[in-house]
Chain A
Amino acid sequence: MRVSFNWLKQYVRFEFAPQDLAHRLTMLGLEVTGVQAVGDDFVFEIDLTPNRPDAMSHLGISREIGALTGQRVKRPEIIPVGMSGETAPLITIHIEDEEDCPRYAARLIKGVTIGPSPQWMQDRLLAVGMRPINNAVDATNYVMLETGQPLHPFDYNRIAGSKIVVRRAHPGEVFVTLDGQARNLDSETLLICDNQKPIAIAGVMGGLDSEVSAETKDVLIESAFFNPKNIHRTSKNLALSTEASQRFERGTDPNGVIYALNRAAELMEELAGGEVVQGTIDKYPKRIEPIRVNLRAARVNQLLGSYLSEGEIGEILQNLEFKIEKSNNLVVEIPTFRPDILREVDLIEEVARIYGYDRIESERTSQIVLFHKPDHRERLSWLVREVLTGLGLFEVVTNSLTDEEARGMVSDFSPAVTIKNPQSRLMSHLRTSLVPGLLRVIARNQHRQQEDIRIFELGRVFHPSENSSPLPQEPTHLSGALTGLSSPRSWVGKSGIISFFHLKGLLEEFFFKILLDNYHFFSYDISELDDRALGIKTDSRLLGYFGHVQRRVLDRFDIEGDVLLFNLYFDEILGLIKWDRVYRPVPQYPFVPRDLSLVVAEKVSAEDLTGLIKEKGGAYLRSVQIVDLYRGEQIPRNKKGLTFSLKFQSQDGTLDDQVVNQIIEDILTDCRTSFNAQLRE
C-alpha cells in the first residue's frame, strides 16, 4: 500500500523527517519498504500484514503516529449536506443475505456534471498509485484512501426499478465486470443487483452497465460492510483482487460506513456539483457492537518480561482509540475498526508494539532442561556424512519434486505421490527414489567437463500410504553414484576406472566405520542395474543394493561412461546399529600365517570358499583374506586360482605349528570334497 507523507499531515501533527517516519512506522509493524520523492511530497510503500485492515488508510496510519506521539487524529469535519428532497422514495434496498452483508447504506446525489477532477485531486491519487477516472469515481476512491472504507458509485438512472437487492448468485450466473470480463459465478458469490440484473460483485468490482459515465446525471453511492470471509473467497475464486476486496476481506469497520458515505457525498458535491438528496438509506438489521476484553497488567508483564504500570498500559491503549471502561483491572472496549483484537493477548501485543519491542529488556538466562533422550538419528546422519565425505564423496541436495518420466526410468517401486497444483509437469511428483536426482547431477557435471564425479545424498523419499493414513510414508534413503577414476590422476602411475569392487570395498569401509556388521551380500535384480549388482541384507532386513547402472538408463540421462550406484535404506540401518560396544581383549601372542592357493572351477564363488574356510578354521582362525586371483596358462581353462592368506592365533599361548598344519589339512579336505578344489603348487 502507498501512503503520502503530506496527506498524513492533514490528520496528525508530527515533526519527523520522511526517513525517520519510515523507520518509526517499520518499528510499529507497518513495514516501510521504500520511500520515494514525488514533487514536494514523499510516498511510502508499506508492506502491511493481513491482520491490519485498520491501517489500510491515511487516517489509520495517522492513528498509529498519534499513538506513538501521544495524540488523537483529527478526522475531517463533515459539513452537513443533503438539505433538499428525500432519498427514501427514490431508492429501496433489500438485503437477502444478511450474514454476508450485515450493513448496506446509500446516498443519492442529483444533477452532477461528470468531468475530470481538479489537479490537486489527480496529483494525490497518482502519487499513491491510483489512476484518476472522473470526479465522481475519484471522490469515492479518495475517501477509501482516507478512511479505508471502499465505496462504489452507480449511475442511478441505470438501476432498474430504483431497487438494490443484495443476494447470492444463482449457480452458473455470468456477470461482466468493469474490466470487460465475463465472470462465471458460483452460488456463494454475493451480488448487488437491481430489479432485473446484477450490477456489481459485492465488495470486489462493479459492472460495466451501471458504471458512472460522461452522461451520468445522478449518482448513487454505496457504502457497505460485507463478511470478510465471503469477499476473500470470491476474490480468490475469481482471481480478482481489487483495492476494495483487499480491504473488505481483511475486515472493514461496520460502524465507519456512514462517516465515509457522508464524506464522499460531500466531496462529490464539491467536485462534480449537483445536490445531495436529504437522508441516508441505511440497512443495518443487526448492529455490530464493540466487544469488551479484560486485561491484567500482571499478565502483560508476565508475558513480555516488562515492568509497565496499569496507567501506562491504559494510556497506550487510549491513544489507539481503545476505550478504558474500568481502570482497575482494565476492561477495554475494542473499537470495531480493530477486528483483529479479540483477546487479552491481542491487547498485550498492542501494548508491546506501541511501547516498543526494543525497549523490552533481553533476558539471557532461563531454566535448563536436564534430560534429552539420545538422538541416534541425528548421530547417524552426521556420521554417515562424515564417513562418506571421508571416503571421497560429495554430499548433494536435490529437489524432492520430480517428473514421472525420470522417476519411472529407474525405479520399479510403488506409484508416486502426485501434486494437484504443480508449477510445471517437471515438478509434479514427489520422488520415490534419490537415484534420478543423482543421475541428473552426474549428467550436469559431465556437461561441465567434470570426469571424476562421486556424490551421495541423504534425504527423504515418498511412498503412498499402505494403510488408512492420509499421509504417505517418508523413508530416508542414502544413495550415491560414482563415475570416473578410482583414484585421482597423478605422476605416480595410472589409475583405472572405478570398478564394481571399488564400490563394494567402499561400502564395506562404510559399514565398518558406522559399526554395522552381520550383513551379507547376495545376488540382486533391479531394473536400474545390470547383472553386476548385489543386494545387502541382514538375516531379516534388506539394507539396500549396489552395482552398475544399466546403459539404457545412462543414455536417457545423457551420461557418458560407467556409473556405479548404491541405494541404502537409512531407517533400516539405523535400527541395526549397536551403539554400545564391549571391548574384546587384544591378542597377546603372535599369529601364525599360512597361505593357501586353491584352484577351483570358475563357477565356485569366492564367498562360498571363504565361508567354508572360516567354518573349518575354527576358533583359532583370526582372519581370511583373498590376496590373489589367477587365471591363465598355469591352470586349466574354466578354472581360477585363489590365494587365501590365513592368520591363526590363540588367546592362551603361541600356537604350535602341528596344530595349524592339522587345521589346514582339514580345510583342504573339505574344500576338495565340497568344491573339488585342488591345491595349486
Chain B
Amino acid sequence: MKNYITVIGLEVHAELKTKTKAFCSCSTEFGAEPNTHVCPVCLGMPGALPVLNKRVVEFAIRAGLALNCDIQKFNKMDRKNYFYPDLAKNYQISQWDEPICLGGHIDIRVNGEKKRIGITRIHMEEDAGKLVHSGLTISTSDYSAVDYNRAGVPLIEIVSEPDMRSAAEARAYMEQLKAILEYTDVCDCKMQEGSLRCDANISVMPEGATEFGTRAEIKNLNSFRALERAIEYEVERQIEIVEDGGHVVQETRTWDDANGVTLSMRSKEEAHDYRYFPEPDLVPVNLDQAWIDEIKATLPELPSARKERLLAEDVPEDNADIIVASKKVADYFDAGTKATKNLKALSNWLIGDVAGFLNAEGIEIDNPEFRITPDHLGELVNLIDKGVLSSKLAKQVFAEMLKVNEAPEALVKKLGLEQVSDAGELGKLVDEVIAANPQSIADFKAGKKKALGFLVGQIMKATHGKANPGMVNKMLMEKLQ
C-alpha cells in the first residue's frame, strides 16, 4: 500500500451571543416554546423588511480580530437560495463574495510541534429553524413540524484553509477556535446543543502527488471526539476506495456517531446550486476604522497570550495548553495564583485531580457541585510546600475538600492529618525502629539500599502516614552512617 496524505479543512458555524436575531428584533433566548420568538421577518412574510443587528457586525469583527483576520471595510449581504422548510423565506441571508473577514490564522500545537492553520474567511449569516420529525428518524416520519425560533439567529461561519493533515490537528484547531470564541465572548460554544457546529472537508492523496484528492464534506460533528473519529473513519474509507482502483465521489456525508460510520446524503447534491445574488432588502455596510479600532481596544487577553504568561510563571507547556483551552479553567487558575506562589504545583492539581473529578462527574469547573474554591486549592499547595502535609495526605484532604467547602488548614486539623515534623518525636521513632529491626540494619550496611525503604515504611506505618518522609529519610541515614 502507498502512503497517503490526509488533507482536512474545517467549516465552523458559531451562533453569536446576541439578544436578538440577525435581521429582526425577536429574542434569541434558548429553550422557549416552539414558534414563540417569531415575527413577520423571520417567518418570511411578504413585504417584511430585514434590518441588520449592529451587534452581529461587532461580534463578527471581534472574532475576526481575535483570529488575526483582515476586516473588510465594504460589506454586503447575499441571498443563498434553496428550498427546505427550515427557512420560511426559501433563501438564507448570508455573505457570498464580500465576507467581513479574510485571511487569518490559528496556531496549534500537536505532540509538542507547533503549526499555523490558515483561516480563509469569516462571513455573517442567519441560522435556520428546527425540524422536529414525527417518527423516530426522518425516514420513518410521515411529516415534520417546524419551529422557527432559531430561524434568523445570527451565525458566523469560519472557513479554514485545507492545512490540517490529521485528525489530531483538526481537533487541536477546533479546540483553539472554541477557546478564542469563548474568550472573546461572542459564542456560547456548546457543541452538543449546536451553538458551535463543525463540518469537515476531507480528502486523501498519495504521497508526492501535487493535486488534492476529491473531497467529501462530513456533517453532524457535534463533539471533539466525533470530529476525530469521523476523520479517522473517512480517511480509511477513502484510502480503501483509491487502493481498490476506484474514485472518491464528491458528496456530502453525515457522521453516524452510534455506528461510527459516515453515510452519503444523496439528496443534498442538487441543493448545491444556490444561485447567490445581492440581497436587495439590505443596504451595504461601510465599516468605519474608528469602530474597528474601538473593538480591537476592548479585546480581552487571548489564549495564546495567556499561555505565554503561564509559561513565564513556570507552568509546564502541556499543563498551560490544557488550562488556557477553557476560559473558565484559566480564570479559576488565575484566581488560585492569588493564594499560592507555586504555580507549577497548582497547575498539576488542576489538570490532575481537579480535572479527574470534573470529568468523572461530567460537570464544568464553575458548577456549584465542585466545592473547592481557587483560594482553597492554592492553600492546599502551600500546606504541602510548608511540610504540613505529605502529598499522600494532601490527597486525603483534597477528597474531603470535594465534600465540604472548608479551608484545607481547618480540614487537616479536623481529620488529624498534620504531618509530624517534630525532630524530637521523629528521632524517638527512628531509634525505636532501628532497635526493633536489626536484620534490616545489617542488610542496609551490607549494601542493600532497599532496606532503608522498609525502615521508612515502618515509621510511616507507626504514624499512620503522618511522619514527614523527607525528615525520616534524613534522620535514618544520619543514624546508620
To the question of whether A and B form a pair in one complex, the answer is no
- Residues of B whose CB lies within 8 Å of any CB of A are none
